[in-house]
Amino acid sequence: MIYYALKVAVSAFLIVLVSELSKRSTLLGSIFASLPLVSFIAILWIWLETKDTKQISALSGDIFWLVLPSLLFFVIFPQLLKRQVNFYLAFGISAAVMVAGYFLLMLLLKLK
């Protein structure tokens, strides 16, 4: 149980770190937010728990392909905000396009 609490604490710390850094410097916050911290942590936890390089290799490959549709959000969202679209509407539209991109890519790659 302590191990899971540690995992949650480390993960939460990184999210709070990015949030607080972004308040002080959008550039610094952006740099930290753009790092694949969740992927790094997940790979590290899997390694520490299983030492299964095949699972880590498969995860890494899938992450590569699934990063691509997530980029749709970061292209569309700022463009909508620049056009004075309401924040929540812009966020929703951008997220919906990103999710559609995930489904499309999964169909194309036949991931399950």
> What string of pLDDT tens digits covers the 112 residues of the chain?
887 888 788 878 888 888 898 899 888 888 888 878 788 888 998 999 999 999 999 999 988 988 999 999 999 999 999 999 999 999 999 999 999 999 999 898 885 5
Give a three-class secondary structure readout of 76-89.
HHHHHHHCCCCHHH
On whether the CB atoms of residues 19 and 34 are closer than 8 A, the answer is: no
Please tell me the predicted confidence (pLDDT) of residue 42: 86
Give a three-class secondary structure readout of the chain.
CHHHHHHHHHHHHHHHHHHHHHHHCHHHHHHHHHCCHHHHHHHHHHHHHHCCHHHHHHHHHHHHHHHHHHHHHHHHHHHHHHCCCCHHHHHHHHHHHHHHHHHHHHHHHCCC
**What distance in Å separates the CA atoms of residue 39 and residue 42, rounded to the nearest whole number?**
5
* pTM metric for this prediction: 0.71
